[in-house]
Amino acid sequence: MKILNLYKDHSIPFITEGNKHARDGWVNVHCPFCAGEQNYHLGYELDSNHFNCWRCGGHFQDQTIAKLLHITTDKAEQLIREYEGITRHPKKKIKVKINLHPFKYPSGELKLCPHHIKYLEGRGFDPYLLSKEWGVSGTGPTSKLDHIDYSHRILAPIEWNGRVVSFQTRSLKANDPIKYLACLMAREEIHHQRILYGNQSLWRKRGVCVEGITDVWRLGAQSFG
Ligand SMILES: [Zn+2]
C-alpha cells in the first residue's frame, strides 16, 4: 500500500529510515494499540506490507488503519484499496513471519553486571534468584542482533516445553524510547506474544494470569504471564 501518501493525506505524523526509531525500509508512526510513551513504535515494512510494533507485535492492515484514523475496518479496507494495497480476506489468516532465521541471542557476553543488579534490586527483585530460576541476564555495552541495538538491557529468555524459543529485554536507561525490545519475529521459534510466560511444570489448573514477565517474577512460579 502507498502508506506514505495515506499518512500524508490524513496528517498522521510518521518517520522514515534515517531516524533512529525506524529501520531501513520501514515507516513508523505512534502505535495506537499500546499504551505508554508515543515514540513511533509501530512500523510498516514497505517490502512485505505489514505492520509490526516494537512493543506489542504484529497487526493486521485493516485494523491498524482503522485504529489510526478512528474509522471502521470496512472503511479502512476501502481506503487500503484506494491506496493500492491488498486487503486480507476476512477468513484468511496472515502467516506470522517467525522462524525465518535460527534463534539467536544478542551478541556479547550475557551476564548480570553491577548496573543490571542495581536496576533489578531497585525494582524490588532478587537478581540472583531471577538468574537462577528464570535465566535472567544482562546485555553488554555493544550488544546487537541483526544490526539492532540491544545494549544495556535486562534479558529474559522465554522457554516453551523446556526450550528457549524467544526472549524479551528491558532497557536500563530511564528515558529509552524503546523500553521493551523482544527478539525479532524472524528469529523467534515461537512468537513471544503467543505463549504464556512462566514455569509450565509448576502450573496447576488454576493460576494467576498476569500482565507480563516482571509480574510473573514478582508473583512466583505458579502465575503465568
Ligand atoms: Zn504497539
Q: Give tens-digit pLDDT for 120-177.
A: 999 899 999 999 988 999 999 999 998 889 999 999 998 887 888 889 899 998 888 8
Distances (CA, A) of 85 to 19, 45, 49, 88, 218: 25, 13, 8, 10, 44
**Whether domain 3-82 has CATH 2.160.20.10:** no
Name which residue leads in pLDDT, 91 or 38.
38
Residue 208 Cα, ligand 1 centroid: separation in angstroms?
24
Task: Please tell me the distance between residue 29's alpha carbon and the centre of ligand 1 in angstroms.
Answer: 10
pLDDT greater than 60 at residue 57: yes
The alpha carbon of 128 and the centre of ligand 1 are apart by a number of angstroms equal to: 31
How far, in Å, from the CA of 93 to the mean position of ligand 1? 20
Q: What is the pLDDT of residue 27?
A: 92
Ligand 1 centroid, distance to 56 Cα (angstroms): 4
Q: What is the pLDDT of residue 214?
A: 74
Which triple of cell numbers denotes residue 114?
553491577
Q: Do domains 3-82 and 114-219 have the same CATH topology?
A: no
Q: Does 55 score more than 70 pLDDT?
A: yes
Q: How far is the CA of 172 from the centre of ligand 1 (A)?
A: 20
Q: From the CA of 184, how far away is ligand 1's center (Å)? A: 14
Distance between CA atoms of 54 and 129, rounded to whole angstroms? 28
Q: State residue 218's pLDDT score.
A: 72
Dist. CA 30 → ligand 1 center (Å): 8
Q: What are all long-range contacts of 217-224, with beta carbons under 8 Å and residues at least 24 apart? A: 217/125, 217/130, 217/134, 217/136, 218/124, 218/125, 221/133, 222/198, 223/198, 224/196, 224/197, 224/198
pLDDT tens digits, one per residue of 81-99: 898 876 655 444 445 577 7
Q: Which residue has the higher pLDDT, 219 or 62?
A: 62
Domain residue spans of the chain: 3-82, 114-219
CATH class of 114-219: alpha beta
